């Protein structure tokens, strides 16, 4: 059992401006879609900005440090992180 606290991630598409630092920080987790909005890469190839469990990610290296770094790098605070109970961890 890992000691990672972040259980799910969401991108607010209305806020996202496609600046792309999340992709630079965690290219295995994020990419920009055709509308230049950040999406989360799920296992199986689907991509969404909606709330996604970390366990559903295609990437297996998405630990707390990486996800926090990606969320913190966003200059418009479009990325939200939640714990297993659904409490928002970031932005705090």
Contact residues for 87 (Cβ-Cβ < 8 A; gap 6+): none
- Residues 77, 83, 84, 87: which binds other proteins (CB under 8 A)? 77
CB of 76 to other proteins, least distance (A): 6
Residues 32-71, interacting with other proteins (CB under 8 A) = 32-36
Q: 64 — phi, psi (to 5°)?
A: -55, -40
Based on the shown chain and the rule CB under 8 A, indicate whether residue 84 belongs to the binding site for other proteins: no
Residues that bind other proteins (CB under 8 A): 15, 17-21, 24, 32-36, 72-73, 75-77, 91
């Amino acid at each position: 059992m890992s000691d990672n606290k972040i259980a799910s991630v969401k991108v607010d598409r209305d806020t996202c401006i496609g600046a792309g630092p999340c992709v630079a920080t965690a290219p295995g987790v994020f990419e920009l879609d055709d509308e230049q909005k950040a999406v989360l890469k799920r296992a199986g190839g689907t991509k969404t900005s909606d709330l996604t469990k970390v366990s559903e990610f295609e990437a297996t290296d998405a630990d707390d440090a990486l996800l926090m770094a990606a969320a913190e790098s966003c200059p418009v605070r479009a990325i939200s992180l939640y714990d297993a109970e659904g409490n928002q961890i970031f932005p705090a």
